[in-house]
Amino acid sequence: MNHKIKSLIFKSLDILPNKFGYGVYHQLQKFLNRNSVNYKIKTNDSSFNEALKILAKATIELKNKTIFELGSGWAPIIPYFFTYFAKASKVVTYDINEHYDAKTIAKLNAYFSSEFNINVVTKKGTYELPSNISYYPNKNLANSGSISDDSVDLIFSRFVLEHIPPEDLVKIHENFAQNLPKPFHILHMISPSDHRAYNDSSLSYYDFLKYSAEAWKKNHTKFDYHNRLRLPDYLDIFKNAGFEVVSLDYDTCDKTSEKYKKFKELTLHKDFENYTEEELLAGSINVLLRMS
C-alpha cells in the first residue's frame, strides 16, 4: 500500500474516539490477513529462534524461569513459544493497548493442539490463555508503580521499542532497574528502519531521517508511531539506566545495494548529521542487557 494512502487512513482513524478508531484499525488488520494465526506463527518463529540462539550463547537457561514480555501485540505467540518450546514456568505480558481477540486465541489453542500435539490447558477469563500466561493490557510501564516487584528472569521485546516515545523508554528502563528484583536480563529486538518502506518500495528504509522532529510528528499517528532513535540513542538509554550490555548485534547495509543507494540520495535533517553512517544504517538490532 502506498505510504500516503496508508497515512491518510491512519490520520482519519486518529480523529475518531479511541474505541471506534481502534475498532476500525483491528478490522483493517484482519482484512490485511495480519490477524491470522498462520501469519502470526510465521512472523514470530524466526525471531524466537534467533532469541534462543542469543540466550544460549550467553548461557541463559529459560526452563522453569519467569519471562516478562514488553509489548503483547495482537496475540500471545511469543508467550506460547516460551511456555511450550522453552519450558518457561510463567510468562507475563504487558501492553499499552488491548489488541487480543478471544476468537484468535481460541484458534491459536487449536493450532498448537493440532500442529504440535500440545494439550493447551486454559484458565477462565476474558481470554482462554494457558494457566501460566498472564495478560496485562492498557498498562503504561513508563508510569511509576505500574511495574510489580515480582521476580522475573528475563524481559523480552520484539519490534516494540521503536514504537515507544524516547522519554517513555527512559522511564520504562528506570522502572525496571529500580523496581524489579535483581539479577535479571533483558533481550530487545529492535527494528529501527522506516516501517513505511516495508509496504511501499518507493521509499528508502531511512526516509524518515530527512524530517525535522516537528515535520515527522505530523507524518504519523498513534497507529503508526515510530521514534527514529538510532543505535547509540538506544545504548545510551540502557546504560544510563544502569544496564550492562552483554551482547549486541545488528545488520549493516551493503554499499552495493539499492537500499544503500536510496539512503545516499537522501538529504538528512541536521538532527542526524552527527551520527556515523554505521550508526544511522544499523538495522535489526538485538541487544542483551543485564542488571546485577
Counting the structural domains of the chain, the total is: 1
> Tens digit of pLDDT for each residue in 212-224?
999 998 877 777 8
Q: Is residue 252 predicted with pLDDT exceeding 80?
A: yes
* Cell numbers linked to 68: 516478562
How does residue 72 score in pLDDT terms, banded at 50, 70 and 90?
very high
> Tens digit of pLDDT for each residue in 234-246?
999 999 999 999 9
Q: What mean pLDDT, rounded, does the chain reach? A: 91
Structural domain including 219 reads 3-291
Q: Residue 22, class by beta-carbon neighbours within 10 Å (0-12 exposed, 13-18 middle, 19+ buried)?
A: middle
Contact 244, 290 (CB under 8 A): yes
pLDDT average, residue stretch 45-55: 97
Q: Angle, to 10 degrees, between the axis of helix 37-57 and the axis of helix 77-84? A: 50
> Tens digit of pLDDT for each residue in 182-198?
999 999 999 999 998 98
Type of residue found at 19: K
Contact 82, 91 (CB under 8 A): yes
User: Distance between CA atoms of 125 and 231, rounded to whole angstroms?
Assistant: 40
User: Distance between CA atoms of 145 and 167, rounded to whole angstroms?
Assistant: 17
How does residue 3 score in pLDDT terms, banded at 50, 70 and 90?
low
pLDDT average, residue stretch 97-104: 89
* Cell numbers linked to 29: 488488520
pLDDT average, residue stretch 124-153: 91
- Say what the pLDDT of residue 31 is: 63
**What's the pTM?**
0.90
Q: What whole-number percentage of the chain has pLDDT above 90?
A: 73
pLDDT average, residue stretch 13-20: 72
CATH, residue 63: 3.40.50.150
Type of residue found at 33: N
Type of residue found at 167: E
Locus of grid cell 552483554: 246
- Say what the pLDDT of residue 5 is: 72
- Say what the pLDDT of residue 35 is: 56
How does residue 134 score in pLDDT terms, banded at 50, 70 and 90?
very high
User: Distance between CA atoms of 70 and 278, rounded to whole angstroms?
Assistant: 27
User: Distance between CA atoms of 252 and 278, rounded to whole angstroms?
Assistant: 7
Instruction: Name, of 17-26, 35-44, 199-208, the range with top average pLDDT.
Output: 199-208
- Say what the pLDDT of residue 26 is: 67
The residue ranking higher by pLDDT, 147 or 228, is 228
